[in-house]
Structure 1
Amino acid sequence: MRDVPAYCAAGWAVFLALHLALNGRWWPWLAVSLLPPVVFAAVPLALLAVAVPAGSGPAALLAAGCLLAGWSQNGINWRALGPRRGSVDGFRLVSWNTQHWNQGGDPDRFYRFLRSLSADVYVLQEYLNGFEGGEVWDIDDEEQLRAAFPGHHLAVGNNAVTLSRFPAAGPPVPVGACSLRVDLRVGEGTLSTYNVHIPVQLTVMNPLRPAFLRDMRRRSAARDREYAALVGDLRGNPHPVLVTGDFNTSAAIGDIRRMPRSLRDAIGACRSVLPASWNARSRLRLWRIDWAFTGGGARVGAYRFRDAEGLSDHLVQELTVGFPRS
C-alpha cells in the first residue's frame, strides 16, 4: 500500500512539471489550464494527508515539493491572513466587466447600480452588444452616460468606457484591439489607467470537433497579440500606472506571467483568502479572472470584490488608489 501514494504523487509531479513548462507557451495547454486554481493546492495537500499516515516518505516529499512548486498557480491569497496594511490616502476606482452593457436589461436599473458605486473613476469593459452567431454590435450610449455622470470626463474606445472626475491629460489611446489607455491629470501628476479586456480562451462546443481546436488556436493568437500590445505600451510609459480589467486569466493560466515584473498585483490589499471575481451569477464563486496592477509609484490601499446584483457574470472590483501627486 505504501507504493500507491508514491505512484499518485509521481503522477501529479509529472503533470505539474508539464503544466509549468507548457502553460502560457503552447496553445493547446490553454484547455488544461482552465482547471480550478485551488486544485494546485488541494491535490498535493490530499496526497500529503494520505502519504504521512501510510508512512510513505517519498510520496510525502513529492507532494510537499509539488505544493511549493505549484504555489503560484493556486490563487490563494495568504496575505489576507496577515496584518492589515496602513491606510492609503487616495481616490475610489471601480473596474467591472458589464457583460454586454446591460443587453436586454433595464437601463434605469443598470445606471442606478453604476451611480451607487460612487467612484471617482469607472473602468468598464464590454461596451457592446451581440455575440449571437459570433457577431458583435457596437453601441452608442454616450448621451445617457454624460447625463448620468455630469461630473465625470468620458473616454470611449475598443469597446471600453473610462469615466473620471479627473480630466484627461490627452486623448484616449487604444491598446491592441481590446484595451484602452486613458491618462488622467491627478493633482500635478499624470496617472495612466489601462482598461483591459483579454479575449476568452475558447468557445463552448464539442471538443472532439476539429472546429474546437481551430477556434482555440485562433483565440490563443488573439490573446498573444493583446498581451503583447499591453506589455509593450506599459514598458514605454513613463507615468505611474493602474492596470485593471477582465484578463480572462486565472492564477493557473500562464499568460498572467507576461505582465511586467515592475507591476504589483493589488491582491495583497484584499482581505479574501480565496478571491473570486467570476461567476457572479452563481452561489459558488469560482476564481479570479479580473485583476488589478499598479506601478510607477501608484499603489492600492484597499481592494475588494463587490456583488454585481445579477447585472453581470463578473463581480465589481473596488479599489482605493494612492498616487504620487508630483
Structure 2
Amino acid sequence: MPYGAVGWATLLWAVFLALHLALNGRWWPWLAVSLLPPLLLAAVPLALLAAAAATGARGAGALAAVCLLAAWRQNGINARALLPRPADAGGDNDAGGDGDGLRLVSWNTQHWNQGGDPDRFYAFLTSLDADVYVLQEYLNGFEGGEVWDIDDEERLRAAFPDHHLCVDNNSVTLSRFPPAGPPVPVGACSLRVDLRTGGARDAVLSTYNVHIPVQLTVMNPLRPAFFRDMRRRAAARDREYAALVADLRDNPHPVLVTGDFNTSAAIGDIRRMPRSLRDAIGACRSLCPASWNARARLRLWRIDWAFTGGGARVGSYRFRDAEGLSDHLVQELTVTAPTVRERGKN
C-alpha cells in the first residue's frame, strides 16, 4: 500500500473512531453503527500499524497507535486472561471446576424451547447442576415483537424439586437458597430476587436477572419504519438501564447482576452500569470471549454479562455451549459473597 493510501486510510479510521467515541451511547441512531464486531476496534488499527511499518509512514503509525489505545476498552479483548491465575481463584474455570461458594448459570433460552423437544431442554437444564439458575426469555414469540406469556411452572417444579422458583417479567430464577421476599420486577424486562445465603437474618445476596431489549428489528434499513422502530427500541433500552441502575444504587446488599444485555463492549450503553460493580470477565480464561451467536462457527460478540458488587466476587467464569438449544451460550459462574454457604446447605 503506498504511503499516501496508508495515511488516508488511517485518517479516515481516526475520524470514524472519533465519531464513535463521541456519539456511542449518546445518540440513538449510532446504535446501528455500534453493532460492529468489537474486535474490529483492535484489528483495524493493528492492520494500519503493520501497513505503516511496512511503508515507513511514521505519522500514520503513530495515529493508528493512538486509535488502538483510545478504543481499547471497547474491543472486547480480555487481556486479563493472559495473567497468571491467583491460587484462590475458585477452581479451574476452563474445566468447569466447582470452586467454593455458589454455582450459578445465566442463560437466554431463546423463547424457552419454542418448537423444540421439552425433554431435551429440561435434561440440559438439569445437567448444569447449578445452585442458582438465572434464565431469560420465559416466553414464546416471533420476530417483530409479538410475544405470548407461557406457564411452565409445573414442569419447572417437578424438574427442580430442591430449588425455589421465582417468575416475573418473562424471567425465571431458580435457587437452592430461599428467597428473602417476593421477586422484585425491575423495569419491564428484568427481575431481582434476594436470596438468604446464610444463617443470619441479614445474610442476603441480590441476584438481578437482566434482559435489555434488542436494538433493532431486521428489516429494510431504507424504510422510515426501520428508524421509527430503532428509536422506539432505544427509548425502551434507556428505560430498562435507568430502572436497573436506580435499583442497584438503592440496594444495600451484595449483588450479582447477570443476563442478556444485548450490549457488546463496543456499545456505549454498558458504561451506564455503576462503577462500583466489577465485570466478571476478569475471571474468564478466554482472550476473546463471545456469547453470541452460539449457532455460528465464528462468534464475535459478547452480549451476555455478569457483574458483582457489595462484597460479592466471581471465582470462575466461562461460557458453555448451549447444544443448539439457543443462540446464546450459557454463562457459568462460581460466586462468593459474605456468608454464602456452599451449595445452599445449612
TM-score category, normalised to shorter length: over 0.9
SS at match of 1:12: helix
> Whole-Å Cα distance in 2 between the matches of residues 134 and 294 of structure 1?
31
- Report the CA distance between 1:7 and its aligned residue: 1.3
In structure 1, what is the Cα distance between the partners aligned to 2:145 and 2:168? 20
**Aligned residue in 1 for 2:325:** 311
- What is residue 95 of structure 2 aligned with on the other side? none
Distance 2:89 2:216 in 1: 40
Separation of aligned partners in 2, 1:281 and 1:14: 34
| Matching of residues 173-188 of structure 1 within 5 Å | 173-187=184-198, 188=200
Query: What is residue 170 of structure 2 aligned with on the other side?
Result: 159
Given the two structures, how large is their TM-score scaled by the length of structure 2? 0.93
Q: Report the counterpart of residue 110 of structure 1 in structure 2.
A: 121
Report the equivalent of 1:22: 23
1:143 equivalenced with 2:145 (yes/no)? no
1:262 matched to 2:276:
yes
The residue that corresponds to 1:282 in the other structure is: 296
Code of the residue aligned with 1:231 in structure 2: it is V
Q: Deviations over 1:267-317 (max 9, x none)?
A: 000000010101111121221000000000000000000000000000000
Query: Residue in 1 aligned with 2:46?
Result: 45
Find the counterpart in structure 2 of residue 225 from structure 1: 239
- How many angstroms apart in 2 are the aligned matches of 1:321 and 1:251? 23
Within 2, Cα distance between the matches of 1:259 and 1:84?
A: 26
Compared with structure 1, are the counterparts of its residues 270 and 159 closer, same or farther at alpha carbon in structure 2 (3 Å cutoff)?
same
Q: What displacement does 1:133 show?
A: 5.0
Change (3 A) 1:50 1:133: closer
How far off its partner does 1:190 sit?
0.3
In 2, Cα distance between equivalents of 1:169 and 1:120: 16
TM-score by length of 1: 0.99
**Cα displacement string for residues 39-90 of structure 1 (whole angstroms, at most 9, x for unaligned residues):** 0000000000000121111101100000000101100001101111323321
Give me the whole-angstrom Cα distance separating, in 1, the residues matched to 2:327 and 2:56: 46
* Pair 1:108–1:307, CA change in 2 (3 A): same
Counterpart code for 2:115: G
The CA deviation at 1:91 is 1.2
- Matched residues in 2 for 1:295 and 1:65: separation? 32
User: What's the counterpart of residue 131 of structure 1?
Assistant: 142
Alpha-carbon contact 2:39-2:300 (below 8 Å) kept: no
1:134 Cα deviation from its structure 2 partner: 3.0
Picking from 293, 298, 302, the partner of 2:312 is 298
- Across the aligned residues of Structure 1 and Structure 2, the Cα RMSD in angstroms comes to 0.9
The change in CA–CA distance for 1:260 and 1:218 in structure 2 (over 3 A counts) is same
Name the CA distance, whole Å, in 2 between partners of 1:45 and 1:87. Answer: 32
* Residue 132 of structure 1: how far off its partner (Å): 5.5
Report the CA distance shift for 1:38/1:133 in structure 2 as closer, same or farther (over 3 A).
closer
How many angstroms apart in 1 are the aligned matches of 2:74 and 2:144?
34
CA positional deviation for 1:3: 2.3
For 1:17, give the aligned amino acid: A
Deviations along 1:235-283, whole A, 9 cap, x unmatched?
Answer: 0000000000000000000000000000000000000001010111112
Task: Look up the match of 1:87.
Answer: 89
SS at match of 1:183: strand
Instruction: Supply the AA of the counterpart residue of 2:61.
Output: A
Where in structure 1 are there 5+ consecutive unaligned residues?
A: none
**Corresponding residue for residue 76 of structure 2:** 75
Residues 143 and 217, structure 2, Cα contact 8 Å, conserved in 1: no
Gap regions ≥5 residues in structure 2: 91-99, 341-346
Query: Which residue does the alignment assign to 1:96?
Result: 107
